[in-house]
Amino acid sequence: MTKSALEISEWFRGLQDRITTALEKADGYGKFREDLWEREGGGGGRSRIMENGKVIEKGGVNYSAVFGNTPDFLRKQGSEDQMLEESFFATGVSIVIHPCNPFVPIIHMNVRYFESGDGSSWWFGGGIDLTPHYVIPEDAVFFHQSLKTTCDRHDKQYYPKFKTWADDYFFIRHRQEMRGIGGIFFDHLKEDHTQPDKTAIWKFVQDVGNTFAPVYTALIEKNKEKEYTETEKKWQRLRRGRYVEFNLVYDRGTRFGLETNGRTESILMSLPPIAEWIYDYKPETESTEQKTLNFLKKGIDWIEKRST
Amino acid sequence: MTKSALEISEWFRGLQDRITTALEKADGYGKFREDLWEREGGGGGRSRIMENGKVIEKGGVNYSAVFGNTPDFLRKQGSEDQMLEESFFATGVSIVIHPCNPFVPIIHMNVRYFESGDGSSWWFGGGIDLTPHYVIPEDAVFFHQSLKTTCDRHDKQYYPKFKTWADDYFFIRHRQEMRGIGGIFFDHLKEDHTQPDKTAIWKFVQDVGNTFAPVYTALIEKNKEKEYTETEKKWQRLRRGRYVEFNLVYDRGTRFGLETNGRTESILMSLPPIAEWIYDYKPETESTEQKTLNFLKKGIDWIEKRST
């Protein structure tokens, strides 16, 4: 493990502190409960979970820093891209928040760092994406514009590239729907002939991490007092069902975690408090629910939408 | 497609009729809604779904008979076991029932037949397994004894072999829990030096199919009027959450269906009407919920239990 890896890990731990503080303040009532855990094989984590807050129905902000021998199937992958050695170090922060109010969106953030045993190969990954139960166009524009502003400070190519990546990644193929309105997603970000040096990439990843709290607390503040009906709460449960489908069928982090004997409760904190499935449910044409479905498509340019 | 394949398929369609009739009678109020669907590439199915019955909160009894070219990734598998040709025919009945009353168990049955284009290679698969929200030992014994009686009529080795197979299959690895109390599970059952001829295997599969309705309606009758509390209904939702986890993460039929562009609504009829997740939930020691968890282990010999 290199000095840099420790610094990155420490910064992620501090990010978890800052985010849980900001979320407790935004909730105004709920508190995070903390679980420290150790990984057999090396390292561990600090899971923080809030349940039954005033704003947050269920949410997790997890930090981990683990090391050890690279699992066999990862090593096999590594032989292809020459990124994995015998041992590894991985650290990051993962967040999923399921709010009470159906007009407050579900949000997910992840920032992570990986390096091989001797530190000679490394990469960053991460992203932030939003899953509104009801897509509110001005919120979607605000969200994407905030991410673009963060990205643009580092590389003008980041936002369009990582926005497309998110569109491709957060797609529920068997439903032919996006999980939400996307955001940014990136992986294997490392120094090469097209990327800047490690310090510059690390600054970008930190900037992504710092973008989470102000953006999400703004969306909470704007929508948390909105009144809602039982019909809207039911729709929220149905959309949460889709969230479950994505996370258990497609999400690489979830599947990787479950397959490598990760800490199940920390991995599955992403699942909603409650979810519903109705056979072949189709909202009425022209309903706000159907309008939301129309927005769950790949390739919508939210920033362009604002200017037209 | 051989004449035999058509006969098998017709019998399965009749089995669906008999089972939906029996379940409507057992429910006493709910009716199955029917959706006919066609598969792009060949064949189709008849899905029957009941929602908000008096006994059955959500359940599906699906019949399908599909044919066409073997999907690429199956063909690759086939090159290993020489069972798959260029084209295929597959037919079967799949059932999942989520009852209202937490003392009535969830049940799953599947019987299926597969053959290659020229009919030279074929196999049967299937099974019945039970997922009680609360394990009631005498019901578990009755269930396993009924399956054993069916199996024993055909081959004394079937029950122990297929019971172990179910224990191994219906296991939620990341929870280190069985999905329920198992039952029987078998796949690739075909004529070889240890198996009898096709007619004998087909008789066994029919017998499994015929075992479903009397066994499940008996469990319904016995438990449907039991009173339950909100705590017990909550536990039911938590166990349904585990059912979702198994089906989306591990179940081969579900994952195969979603990956091969099967009819999503028919595949995911297996998901419960509503499910719940609480972070790191642990029932109290000595509670009936904890007693149920103690029964969700591999290798419990329910029939032996009765005699001791």
**Residue B117: pLDDT band by 50, 70, 90 thresholds?**
confident
Residues of chain A in contact with residue B277, where contact means CB-CB under 8 angstroms, are 58, 268, 271-275
What pLDDT does B73 receive? 53
Lowest mean pLDDT among A23-37, A82-96, A175-189, B271-285: A82-96
Place of tokens 């920032």: A111
Q: Which residues pair with A110 in a beta bridge?
A: A94, A127
What pLDDT does A244 receive? 98
- Nearest Cα to Cα of residue B169 among B215, B209, B208, B129: B129
- Give me chain B's average pLDDT, please: 92
Write down the catalytic residue from A108, A144, A174, A193: A108
Instruction: Please give the residue that has the higher pLDDT: either B195 or B282.
Output: B282
Q: Phi-psi category of B149—alpha, beta or left, where left has phi over 0 and alpha has psi -120 to 50?
A: alpha
User: Is a pLDDT exceeding 80 seen at residue A305?
Assistant: no
CB within 8 Å: A241 and B271: yes
**Residue B261: pLDDT band by 50, 70, 90 thresholds?**
confident
CB within 8 Å: B265 and A272: no
Highest mean pLDDT among B70-84, B213-227, B292-306: B213-227
**pLDDT 10s digits, B197-256:** 899 999 999 999 999 999 999 999 999 999 999 999 999 999 999 999 999 999 999 998
User: Is a pLDDT exceeding 60 seen at residue B307?
Assistant: no
What pLDDT does A85 receive? 47
Q: Which of A58, A271, A279 sits opposite B49 (nearest CB)?
A: A279
User: Is a pLDDT exceeding 70 seen at residue B150?
Assistant: yes
Q: Which of A173, A268, A277 sits opposite B268 (nearest CB)?
A: A277
CB within 8 Å: B275 and A275: yes
User: Is a pLDDT exceeding 50 seen at residue A265?
Assistant: yes
Quote the minimal CA–CA distance from B31 to chain A in Å.
Answer: 14
Quote the minimal CA–CA distance from A272 to chain B in Å.
Answer: 6
Sketch out chain A's domains with CATH numbers: 3-307 (3.40.1500.10)
Asked if B133 is an active-site residue, the reply is no
For B46, B92, B147, B176, the CA distances from B53, given in Å and listed in that order, are 20, 25, 27, 33
* B29: CB partners within 8 A, 6+ apart: B53, B54, B55
What pLDDT does B36 receive? 97
CB within 8 Å: B277 and A58: yes
CB within 8 Å: A258 and B174: yes
CB within 8 Å: A249 and B268: no
Burial A243-270 (b: 16+ CB within 10 A, else e): bbbbbbbbbebbeebbeeebbbbbbbbb
B interface residues, A as partner, C-beta within 8 Å: 33, 35, 49, 51, 58, 60, 173-175, 237, 241, 244-245, 248-249, 255, 258, 261, 264-265, 267-269, 271-280
Dmax over Cα atoms in chain A, in whole Å? 58
Helix (H) or strand (E) segment spanning residue B176: none
CB within 8 Å: A275 and B35: no
Residues of chain B in contact with residue A241, where contact means CB-CB under 8 angstroms, are 271
Lowest mean pLDDT among A102-106, A275-279, B255-259, B291-295: B255-259
Write down the catalytic residue from B108, B133, B144, B193: B108
Mean pLDDT of A167-172: 98
Quote the minimal CA–CA distance from B167 to chain A in Å.
Answer: 19
**pLDDT 10s digits, A225-255:** 999 999 999 999 999 999 999 999 999 999 9
Quote the minimal CA–CA distance from A282 to chain B in Å.
Answer: 11
Residue B159 phi/psi, 5° resolution?
A: -60, -55
Percent of chain A's residues with pLDDT above 70: 92
User: Is a pLDDT exceeding 90 seen at residue A123?
Assistant: yes
User: Is a pLDDT exceeding 90 seen at residue B120?
Assistant: no
**Residue B85: pLDDT band by 50, 70, 90 thresholds?**
very low
**pLDDT 10s digits, B16-46:** 999 999 999 999 999 999 999 999 888 999 9
Do the Cβ atoms of A43 and A66 come closer than 8 Å? yes
- Give me chain A's average pLDDT, please: 92
Q: Which residues pair with B46 in a beta bridge?
A: B36, B63
**Residue B77: pLDDT band by 50, 70, 90 thresholds?**
low
Q: How far apart are CA B97 and CA B272, in angstroms?
A: 9
Q: How far apart are CA A207 and CA A159, in angstroms?
A: 13
Q: Which residues pair with A183 in a beta bridge?
A: A129
Q: Phi-psi category of B261—alpha, beta or left, where left has phi over 0 and alpha has psi -120 to 50?
A: left
